[in-house]
């Protein structure tokens, strides 16, 4: 296996997946609407960026043809029901049909923790329902011979994330953090572990037909994650800002106001609906350890990209760099 098509390869997880594939000297194709959106990937000599609309069935079939496997990382966190349906249900269905039509048997699909093809219509949010229906569409294709691996990560953190970094930046500005869904529970997973899971699935044919829950070793509430982001980024000399958990009525009002703001919202009412169920491993499915991956803890990784603003950590980072030379 040496020719891989990566949908969503220009995104946060995608760049890590592409880097690992490039290290193996595999030929990687990343489709994008505009080449400029994937310019950061052009440093990899074995990687080709192709302009095209993956939602167009004919274009998608041409892209899939000639590859040994496909990785689907396309996802969206905010939107209406139609946009979730397009990204999470229609695209996987079209992708599965393109794979079957072109003879490409191997597909690794990134879903989401909390999604379920068996309970797609009962999940609490549009996001989770659409993710579940997308899995169901792929499972139907698997019954026709598609070798499918499904990965369900919890919230993903890493140096370029829009998660901990966002909370850290907000605490640089605001004296108080009013927080919707403060007691929602997560099991954050490092982006490098997610990328390694994708690679392991591509390398190991025995992972076909399996669904994996990708989670880190610790369960944290959203309140604890926000506090940690502030502390590690050095806000108030490492104390962070006070976090005020909002009751649901105010939380939904806050989310609705954020939806009205221009640009990508920080929080939506659908996000709140997703947080009605804990974003933690069910224990009913294999996890990272089944893929031979020891999950890294957020507490070990986050200081490496949030920590330098904490007084004294600049010197520590310099010492670490010097000692590694």
| 263-311 pLDDT per residue, tens | 888 899 999 999 999 999 999 999 999 999 999 999 999 999 997 443 4
Name the band, by pLDDT with cuts 50, 70 and 90, for residue 216.
very high
Task: Give the predicted TM-score (pTM) of the model.
Answer: 0.92
State residue 317's pLDDT score. 39
pLDDT surpasses 90 at 8:
yes
Residue that the structure tokens 């997308």 belong to: 134
* CA of residue 113 relative to chain centroid, distance: 10
The answer to whether the beta carbons of residues 150 and 212 sit under 8 Å apart is yes
Counting every residue, how long is the chain?
Answer: 325
| Contacts of residue 225, Cβ cutoff 8 Å, sequence gap at least 6 | 163, 164, 167, 186, 188, 298
| 67-124 pLDDT per residue, tens | 999 999 999 999 999 999 999 999 999 999 999 999 999 999 999 999 998 888 899 9
State residue 1's pLDDT score. 62
CATH number listed for the domain at residues 3-156+186-214: 3.40.50.720
State residue 310's pLDDT score. 38
| Contacts of residue 304, Cβ cutoff 8 Å, sequence gap at least 6 | 159
Domain residue limits, the chain: 3-156+186-214
| 16-38 pLDDT per residue, tens | 999 999 999 999 999 999 989 88
Annotate the chain with three-state secondary structure: CCEEEEECCCCHHHHHHHHHHHHCCCEEEEEECCHHHHHHHCCCCCEEEEECCCCCHHHHHHHHCCCCEEEECCCCCCCCHHHHHHHHHHHHHHHHHHHHHHCCCEEEEECCCCCCCCCCCCCCCHHHHHHHHHHHHHHHHHCCCCEEEEEEECCEECCCCCCHHHHHHHHHHCCCEEECCCCCEECCEEHHHHHHHHHHHHHCHHHCCCEEEECCCCCEEHHHHHHHHHHHCCCCCCCCCCEEECCHHHHHHHHHHHHHCCCCCCCCHHHHHHCCCCECCCCCCCCHHHHCCCCCCHHHHCHHHHHHHCCCHHHHHHHHHHHCC
- For residue 72, give both structure tokens: 């689907």
Residue that the structure tokens 């104390």 belong to: 239
Weakest-pLDDT range from 5-9, 43-47, 210-214:
43-47
| 38-50 pLDDT per residue, tens | 889 988 889 999 9
| Contacts of residue 261, Cβ cutoff 8 Å, sequence gap at least 6 | none
What mean pLDDT, rounded, does the chain reach?
Answer: 92
The answer to whether the beta carbons of residues 189 and 156 sit under 8 Å apart is yes
Backbone dihedral angles phi then psi of residue 242, each to the nearest 5 degrees = -60, 140
State residue 261's pLDDT score. 85
| 217-273 pLDDT per residue, tens | 999 999 999 999 999 999 999 999 999 999 999 999 999 999 998 888 889 999 999
**Dist. CA 123–CA 152, nearest whole Å:** 15
């Amino acid at each position: 296996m040496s020719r891989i098509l990566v949908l969503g390869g220009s995104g946060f997880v995608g760049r890590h997946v592409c880097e690992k594939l490039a290290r193996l000297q595999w030929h990687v194709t990343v489709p994008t609407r505009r080449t400029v959106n994937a310019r950061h990937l052009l440093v990899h000599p074995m990687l080709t960026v192709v302009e095209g609309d993956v939602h167009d069935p004919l274009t998608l079939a041409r892209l899939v043809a000639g590859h040994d496997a496909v990785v689907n990382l396309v996802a969206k966190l905010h939107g209406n029901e139609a946009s979730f349906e397009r990204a999470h249900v229609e695209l996987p269905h079209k992708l599965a049909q393109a794979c079957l039509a072109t003879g490409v048997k191997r597909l690794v699909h990134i879903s989401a923790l909390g999604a379920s093809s068996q309970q797609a219509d009962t999940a609490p949010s549009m996001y989770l329902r659409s993710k579940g229906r997308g899995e169901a569409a792929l499972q139907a294709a698997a019954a026709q011979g598609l070798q499918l691996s499904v990965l369900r990560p919890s919230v993903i953190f890493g140096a370029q994330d829009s998660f901990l970094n966002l909370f850290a930046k907000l605490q640089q500005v605001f004296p108080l953090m009013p927080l919707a869904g403060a007691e929602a529970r997560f099991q954050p997973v490092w982006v490098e572990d997610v990328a390694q899971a994708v690679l392991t699935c591509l390398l190991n044919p025995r992972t076909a037909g399996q669904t994996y829950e990708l989670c880190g070793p610790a369960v944290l509430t959203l309140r604890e994650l926000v506090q940690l982001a502030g502390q590690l980024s050095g806000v108030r000399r490492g104390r962070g800002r006070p976090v005020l958990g909002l009751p649901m009525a105010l939380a939904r009002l806050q989310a609705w106001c954020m939806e009205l703001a221009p640009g990508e919202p920080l929080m939506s009412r659908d996000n709140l609906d997703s947080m009605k169920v804990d974003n933690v491993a069910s224990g009913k499915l294999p996890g990272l350890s089944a893929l031979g991956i020891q999950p890294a803890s957020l507490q070990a990784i986050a200081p490496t990209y949030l920590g330098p603003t904490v007084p004294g950590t600049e010197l520590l980072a310099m010492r670490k760099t010097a000692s590694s030379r």
